[in-house]
């Protein structure tokens, strides 16, 4: 009988046990977090469809979501477009495909790069800010005070942020994508010979369809709402003082990155597969 504890201790010290235990713990955390986010989405939709919306807060969050994040978003998307055009324009000219440079840049920006890079920029700046804000409110017991006063945090904290993200993200993406296409054209003219602005713009219009733009707008709206919902949810669950705020912010950023990649994959399969 005395050997059983020794056997159990030995098994717990093995690499296989630790790996399986860690994997199960990550799976448990994943499903727990996913369940909480889903529940809070239902609560947000309940207040939204019952028109219990504080429009002043929505406008404030919209200004913060779009205006404050615009410089970094435009910078990231523009630099990505410049790098893309710098690499593909000379090669396309060598292969005799200079009339397709604008088409390739525009399709890449509209379908993927413009939305994804804008999402990454929004997560880094706005998502992390929302998570840390709600996490600070949680650890300083401000959210507990709201619950005591029978004030719903989902109505006054979640709903304005989710609505702002859902509404404003398409505007940010459209502006960032437009700037990216323009900067891509300028870099194409610089990096490759015989590429004129007229040739580039004509190629853009030949390869750009309303369907692609509509899909981009829908995808960006889903990205914006998802980023705000996940960031707010992770901040809402914070615990443990200043350390808890940092953990919640990191969790919000990681979950948001994973979520928009999964959503992007779903859109790609649904509309382009």
Q: Is 14 within the bounds of a domain?
A: no
Q: Is 174 within the bounds of a domain?
A: yes
Q: Is 169 within the bounds of a domain?
A: yes
260 in Cβ contact with 227 (< 8 Å): yes
pTM of the model: 0.86
Low-confidence ranges of the chain (pLDDT < 70): 1-7, 10, 12
Q: What is the pLDDT of residue 168?
A: 93
Domain range spanning residue 155? 54-272
Q: What is the pLDDT of residue 1?
A: 46
Q: Is 158 within the bounds of a domain?
A: yes
Q: Is 120 within the bounds of a domain?
A: yes
Q: What would you measure as the largest C-alpha separation in the chain, in angstroms?
A: 86
Q: Is 5 within the bounds of a domain?
A: no
From residue 77, how far is each of 81, 95, 109, 180 by CA, in Å?
Answer: 6, 27, 9, 6
CB atoms near residue 144 (< 10 Å):
12
**Distance of alpha carbon 131 from alpha carbon 248, whole angstroms:** 7
Number of domains in the chain: 1
Q: What is the pLDDT of residue 216?
A: 93
């Amino acid at each position: 009988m005395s050997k059983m504890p020794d056997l159990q201790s030995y098994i717990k010290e093995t690499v296989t046990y630790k790996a399986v235990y860690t994997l199960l713990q990550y799976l448990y955390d994943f499903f727990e977090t996913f369940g909480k986010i889903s529940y809070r989405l239902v609560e947000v939709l309940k207040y939204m469809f019952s028109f219990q919306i504080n429009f002043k807060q929505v406008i404030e969050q919209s200004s913060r979501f779009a205006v404050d994040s615009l410089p970094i978003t435009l910078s990231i998307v523009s630099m990505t477009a410049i790098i893309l055009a710098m690499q593909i324009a000379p090669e396309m000219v060598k292969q005799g495909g200079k009339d397709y440079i604008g088409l390739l840049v525009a399709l890449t920006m509209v379908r993927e790069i413009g939305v994804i890079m804008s999402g990454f920029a929004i997560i880094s700046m706005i998502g992390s800010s929302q998570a840390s804000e709600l996490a600070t409110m949680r650890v300083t017991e401000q959210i507990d005070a709201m619950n005591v006063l029978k004030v719903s945090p989902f109505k006054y904290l979640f709903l304005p942020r989710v609505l702002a993200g859902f509404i404003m993200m398409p505007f940010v993406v459209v502006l960032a994508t437009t700037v990216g296409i323009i900067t891509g054209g300028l870099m194409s003219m610089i990096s490759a010979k015989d590429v004129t602005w007229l040739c580039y713009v004509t190629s853009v219009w030949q390869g750009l369809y309303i369907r692609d733009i509509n899909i981009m707008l829908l995808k960006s709206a889903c990205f914006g709402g998802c980023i705000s919902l996940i960031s707010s949810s992770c901040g809402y669950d914070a615990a443990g003082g200043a350390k808890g705020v940092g953990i919640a912010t990191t969790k919000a950023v990681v979950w948001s990155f994973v979520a928009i990649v999964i959503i992007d994959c779903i859109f790609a399969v649904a509309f382009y597969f």
